[in-house]
Structure 1
Amino acid sequence: MVFRHPVLIFISEKHGNYFAYVQKFNSRILSKYTLLLGEEKSVIQSFSTSVDRKFISLMSLSANGCVYETLIPIHPSDPEKKQRVVQSLLLKSVVSGNARSGAALTVLDQDHVAVLGPPLPASKECLSIWNTKFQTLQTSKELPQGTSGQLWYYGENLFMLHGKFLTVIPYKCEVSSLAGALGKLKHSQDPGAHAMPHFVNWETSQGCGHGSQNSEQSKRILRRRKIEVSVQPEVPASTQLLATIQKYSEKHIEVELRKFLAFKRTPEFHTIIGDVIIGLLGRCKAEPSFYPRNCLTQLIQTHVLSYSLCPGLMEAALEKADVQILQLCLQQFPDIPESVTCACLKIFLSIGDDSLQETDINMESVSDYTDTVQDGEMEEQSGILQNGFNPEEEDNCENCSQELIEKPQTSTKESTSCPVTPKRAALLNSVLHSAYSETFLLPHLKDIPAQHITLFLQYLYFLYLKCSENATMTLPGIHPPTLNQIMDWICLLLDANFTVVVMIPEAKRLLLSLYKFVKSQINICSELNKIEASFRELQKLNQEKSNRGLYSIEVLELF
């Protein structure tokens, strides 16, 4: 219930992507939200909700045993438009990831949740009460007869199926406090002290001694305090967020940031986001251990930032070798300097594969073209020209060594398999999409080590071979590199490092393949120019002929 009106919330899943739907019956509005699961993508097993004044808190229990929270605005700025909300980690490893009968989650109040499931892989099922504010276990109850993975909470009672019975457990949440969460709350009082009531009724206090005078004076004081509070100016949400950044933990900042981003955007929204980035980076410099990657990711995904608005962001990401942040910046910032682009390229080529496996990288630009072509398919296509170019074709070149010509199988294998992993390919594709000026980019390309230049050239040559496999000369996937981008970067790398690459023995076969592919492109362009000239002549002939309405057949031979 939201403001005494029923609201239906349900979740759907499609190809590993989760969507939340909020149906309001008073206004008959259905809002759709895409749940961004963050770094740890997992299957949602159970979810529950709670409501405050501005947000619907959607808590979900994933198959990895963690509890995540998503804040959905009650009054979205554009209800008809599909929106995206980010999940944040609330509790980690509250149940075992391989629960046999499934796990369940329900919200008790603003700071407490109940979780049903085994805490460890070999343990029995338990009912656990967790404090989400301080991330502590309040209490737990073992259930030896097992459950069906169903849990409800209504009227300060927990309902669940335990064995063959419906079990009801009364439970009332205490006020969340640090002392209560740590089990140090003491209710001791002095023997001679009288218990003071928590609330004072000013009406009943009139009967005591000076009750009438005291009550009138107290009421005047209260009225004065109310007036003083009412005239205080309201602190802007952006100022509150900047103050929170300097004081609180990373998780608290992330929650407050998601609340701030859920508000309706103002005309100065991009400058406010820039100030928030500067505040986060300032604290990162003061505290080296503080690096809020999730907050920075949310801010970049607002699509209002640029390099000139927050120049220190990519510098900090380069220092941390944070390829996830660097990829997002390359995809969204239109004004990145060429020196920073080359610095990103150095990291993308030098970072280890083990580090990339643990990093969440956007793989939209990479499709199944990174798979190795099967040997049987290559044998069938060995005699086929692909868009005028055959990688197995050997030309009689006096400058080509006989050893390279006699090993076409090795060359075929190298040209049909991707020389880099899919995640590294996605990072390199973000560099290919970035804007640059050739004059400013070439000097910085000379600083990249020769072995990395060779690896990048091998990847670009592989992309060209994949483009040559179809008539459209394009790659599959969402936002893949274009043929012009591939060709431009091959020329840039060779112009900047040719004298160095030509001295590397490992690059000789690659340079030979590039020579043959350039020669084949010259030949096909020459033939296309001939065909174009022939069609122009035919067009002139058709224009000169008078339309007599006669039927004729013409046979044209093109040589």
Structure 2
Amino acid sequence: MAALYEGYTLCGLVPLPNLANSGIQGIETERDGDHVIVTDSFRSITLYKVSDQKPLGSWTVKQDNSLSCPAVYNTQTKEYVAVTDNKVIRIWKEEDILIDKTFKATVLSDIWRIHCVAGGDPVVLFKSGAFRLLDSLLAAPRQTLEEVLDSDETLRWSTSIVAENQQFVIFTTEQKGDNFLYLQKLKPNTLQKYRLERESSGLAPLSFSVACRDQLIHILYLYPNGHVYQSVISAWGPRSEDGSQNSLPLPRNLLLALNVGKDQLNAASALLLDDAHVAIIGVPHPSVGAGKDFLCIWNTNFQTLQAGKEMAGKIFGQLWCFSNKLFIPHGKTLSVIPYECSKSSLASALGKLKQSRTEESRPLLSVPSWSNILHEENIQTSRTLEPRKLRSTRRSQLSPILTVEQVLELVKTASIEEVQKKVEELFSRTETQDLNQSVGQLASGLVSRCLADAAFYPSTTLAQLVNTQSLCHSVCPELVQLALEKKDYFLCQLCLQFFPDIPEYVTCICLKAFTSMQDNDAAKVNLEPDSVSFMETLIAREHGLVGSQNGFNDSSTSENHLVVTMTELGEEKTATPSEQSCPVGLKKAVLLNEILQTAYSDDLLLPHLKDLSSQHVILFLRYLHFLYLKYNQDTFPHSHGYRSPSVEQIMDWVCLLLDAHFTVLVMTSEAKGLLLNLHTYIRSQVKLFSELGKVEGSLQELQQMKIKQDVGQYSIEVIELF
């Protein structure tokens, strides 16, 4: 699940008079992700420390000069590099005050951009499409350059990345309505040209974003019609033998088709955050519509909107990302918005992945003392607001703490006792919020070891991971079936309670396992106390029905009442509705209750229900029959506070089982009496809801009636409901 947190202002902006430009040419990282260089559209370059929200240095060129592209920081020489007037390269250090008195070199051709990426060499890209390493260019600034692009071909966007120990310069061009992408490898010097597929009406991409994963270069681009495409190129792709003249088609995949309304986008941008999440600015929010500017994070695997934040003021279609922070110019402000993207799964995409705590609910660990501030003493942490958990574990901080990666390595070979001990230490010394991203890795590692080694099964540790509520079925799909194989029904119960995305076929596998389980074996299982307490209370209640509840009346004079004696159907024992006992044991009933409360889709569940045998279906129907009778007793505590299924869930499952096995049940003699009784209860429910519908209609009519103003001193009104 992705999240956008509370943002803050880094600096103010001076937009151009026509409001078409934010006044910022670009933002680049400096020594680390907490330091950025902001280059404006005029003459200034400013270094900011993001966490302090303050400038550390600023440099301005003369009034008759202008900055041609964003300044960069050379991590190898600890120097800043900028270009003025398209052809003058300027280099200076942080302690330099006046940029005009520092080193400069003039080249013969116009410069497009200077790129400096971590792990690579600074590269100068010219508007002709040629490139030079900065050091080699400074050694001979007046050298002539080749013409890579055609005379009518224009550069639109560029970047530089390091992939598989190779540095690449990637840039796009436009020529007569066609768009091209160039992949320039530096060592060895090879160039490949790709042709982008034409979009409808000859639209050109608004923005590009690049990321490298697993020897593949992923290019993301957004069009004005809201279409977001991705193209993938191998880092060891084919080499063009005749240079840029031979272009290869660039296949693309439609990731998102965003609704932009009647108007096309003109100031929007899309940025890759990870392999499943994309940040988009300037596209209407799907639930708000046009007229509002939003920053949104989309999950491209499941086509879902994960987070959205309205941005005040005009959006300029600019978006940068460094160290899990998004930098967005809007209105007259440059804002920094932290974000978080968890591992992509179906539960997180649907917003159903339960988190133990949110970012906002974290305790404030450091509270400054006003006395210390006034006396300029060292600020100390307030002990009164320190969490009890941290105080209790402070003594143990002196011992070495294993990281999640070390625990994962330990899982592969260590004993059950050692794994349990180290995981408990990890949970006791680390905030649960910080472990949310690692719970899935730990669970997957433990399950893989269990599947490979039959003697290894740390049930306590697995239950602890599930109890964090940071795990779901799609993250660790083998966990539930492993628990069933090991007959660890307590772990099965926890998974059914906390996993919001259990597939319907897994639910049916659990149902079959629970109904097949012997009551003697089930009695030995330790289950969740609240669910057991509910069934103990239910079974201990007096038998018999009094009055009418939920539409069922036990009166022998009722037209809907039907008493079926099993002797009439070939059975020796007579069983009336008021005399029926629970057909399964206590612990088995608790597990069946978890099945009733599991989320499902009718269309997906029905085919798997048909795989159940008639014996399993009849047993489950008898248990549902028993629950329904108990729920309709006057003595039933409707607000008991325990985890328990609702009447609606009971009736839904009755209908599902009858739909899936009606023919088989009709042909089975032992099910005839049960079916007749169930028919009575379902019919009573239908009548109840019918009567409730009449009451609802009458109440609506009363609400719409006009109130008479002149009633007088005495008045009698008769309102006929039926």
1:491 corresponding residue in structure 2: 655
Shift of 1:498: 1.0
Q: Show the 5 A alignment for 1:438-457.
A: 438-457=602-621
Check the 8 A contact 2:560/2:684 in 1, yes or no: no
1:371 equivalent to 2:534? Answer: no
Matches within 5 A, 1:76-475: 237-265=403-431, 269-366=435-532, 367=534, 368-371=536-539, 373-374=541-542, 378=544, 381=545, 384-391=547-554, 393=556, 403=568, 410-415=575-580, 417-470=581-634, 474=638
Question: CA offsets, 1:194-251, max 9 Å, x none?
Answer: xxxxxxxxxxxxxxxxxxxxxxxxxxxxxxxxxxxxxxxx996112212222232211
1:304-345 Cα deviation digits (max 9, x unpaired): 001111112122112223211111111111111111111011
Deviations 1:506-539 (Å, cap 9, x if unpaired)? 2111111111112222333333333344444444
Work out the CA distance in 1 between the residues paired with 2:551 and 2:589.
26
Partners of 2:704 and 2:570 in 1: how far apart?
47
RMSD: 3.8
Seen in structure 2, the aligned counterparts of structure 1 residues 359 and 29 have a Cα distance that, compared at 3 Å, is farther
One-letter amino acid of the structure 2 residue matched with residue 385 of structure 1: S
Question: Relative to structure 1, is the Cα distance of residues 279 and 522 closer, same or farther in structure 2, using a 3 angstrom cutoff?
Answer: closer
Residues 466 and 475 in structure 1, CA contact (< 8 A), matched pair in contact too:
no
Q: What is the Cα deviation at residue 75 of structure 1?
A: 7.8
Determine the C-alpha separation between the residues in 2 that align with 1:472 and 1:549.
Answer: 48
Q: Report Cα offsets for 1:100-122 as digits up to 9, x if no partner.
A: xxxxxxxxxx9xxxxxxxxxxxx
Shift of 1:365: 3.3
Q: What CA distance in whole angstroms lies between the structure 1 residues aligned with 2:691 and 2:501?
A: 40
What SS class does the counterpart of residue 365 from structure 1 fall into?
helix
> How many angstroms apart in 1 are the aligned matches of 2:717 and 2:637?
33
1:443 Cα deviation after fit: 0.8
> What CA distance in whole angstroms lies between the structure 2 residues aligned with 1:254 and 1:544?
71
Tell me if structure 1 keeps the 8 A contact 2:548–2:632.
no
**Alpha-carbon offset, residue 350 of structure 1:** 0.8
C-alpha distance 374-493 of structure 1, shift in aligned 2 (>3 A): same
SS, match of residue 439 in structure 1: helix
The residue type paired with residue 680 of structure 2 is K
**Cα contact 1:365–1:477 (8 A) shared by 2:** no
Distance 2:616 2:632 in 1: 25
- Residue identity matched to 1:497: H
Distance 1:331 1:76, change over 3 A: farther
The AA in structure 2 aligned to 1:371 is I
Distance, in Å, in 1 between the alignment partners of 2:625 and 2:519 is: 21
Equivalent residue of 2:530, what SS? coil
Kindly provide the amino acid, as one letter, of the partner of residue 512 in structure 2: K
Letter in 1 for 2:684: S
Letter in 1 for 2:495: C
Q: Which amino acid aligns with 2:575?
A: T
* Cα deviation code 1:438-461 (max 9, x no counterpart): 111111101111111111111112
TM superposition score normalised by structure 2: 0.42
Secondary structure at 1:448 match in 2 = coil
Q: In the alignment, is the contact (CA less than 8 A) between 1:473 and 1:483 conserved in 2?
A: no
Q: Distance in 2 between matches of 1:373 and 1:472?
A: 8
8 Å CA contact 2:411, 2:445 repeated in 1: yes
Question: Match for residue 346 of structure 2?
Answer: none
Asked whether the equivalents of residues 630 and 636 of structure 2 are also in contact (C-alpha less than 8 Å), the reply is no
Q: Is contact 1:433–1:481 with CA below 8 Å preserved after alignment?
A: yes
Contact 2:531 2:643 in 1 (8 A): yes
| Aligned counterparts of 2:408 and 2:607: Cα–Cα separation in 1 | 40
| SS in structure 2 of the partner of residue 270 of structure 1 | helix
Map of 2:685 onto structure 1: 521
In the alignment, residue 388 of structure 1 is paired with which amino acid? G
Correspondence 1:504 to 2:672: no
Alpha-carbon distance in 2 for matches of 1:397, 1:521: 13
Q: CA deviation at 1:271?
A: 3.3
Output the CA distance in 1 between the equivalents of 2:456 and 2:562: 60
Task: Tell me what 2:81 maps to.
Answer: none
Alpha-carbon distance between aligned partners in 2 of 1:262 and 1:475, rounded to the nearest angstrom: 36
Matched, 1:545 2:711: no
Match in the other structure for 1:554: 717
Counterpart CA distance in 2 for 1:414 and 1:398 is 14
Deviation at 1:404, TM superposition (A): 6.1
CA distance 1:237–1:446, change in 2 (3 Å): same
Aligned residues: 336
CA distance in 2, matches of 1:365, 1:310: 25
Task: Give the SS at the match of 2:512.
Answer: helix
The structure whose residues are more often helix, as a share, is 1
Hey, what's the Cα distance between the residues in 1 that align with 2:699 and 2:476? 54
| More deviation, 279-288/424-433 | 279-288
289 and 299 in structure 1: CA distance in 2 versus 1, 3 angstrom threshold: same
Give the residue type in structure 1 aligned to 2:553.
N
Change (3 A) 1:552 1:399: closer
Separation in 1, partners of 2:636, 2:714: 36
CA distance in 1 between counterparts of 2:474 and 2:629 reads 37
Partner of 1:83: none
Distance 1:307 1:533, change over 3 A: closer
Code of the residue aligned with 1:256 in structure 2: it is K
In structure 1, distance between residues paired with 2:679 and 2:570:
13
Q: 1:471 & 1:547 partners in 2: Cα distance?
A: 48
8 Å Cα contact 2:555-2:561 kept in structure 1: no
- SS of 1:310's equivalent? coil
1:69-121 CA-partner distances (Å, limit 9, x unpaired): xxx634899xxxxxxxxxxxxxxxxxxxxxxxxxxxxxxxx9xxxxxxxxxxx
Aligned residues of 1:475 and 1:481 also touching (Cα < 8 A):
no
Distance 1:287 1:470, change over 3 A: same
**Does the CA contact (< 8 Å) of 1:461 and 1:514 recur in 2?**
yes
C-alpha separation in 1, matches of 2:712 and 2:388: 61
Quote how far apart the aligned CAs of 1:503 are: 2.0
Gapped regions of structure 2 (runs ≥ 5): 1-381
CA distance in 2, matches of 1:387, 1:242: 53
CA distance 1:235–1:301, change in 2 (3 Å): closer
More strand by share: 2
| Cα distance in 1 for residues equivalent to 2:526 and 2:610 | 30
Over 3 Å counting, the alpha-carbon distance change for 1:453 and 1:398 in structure 2 is closer
Q: Which letter does structure 2 place at the counterpart of 1:450?
A: S
Identical amino acids, percent of aligned pairs: 41
Compared CA separation, residues 413 and 32, structure 1 to 2 (3 A)? farther
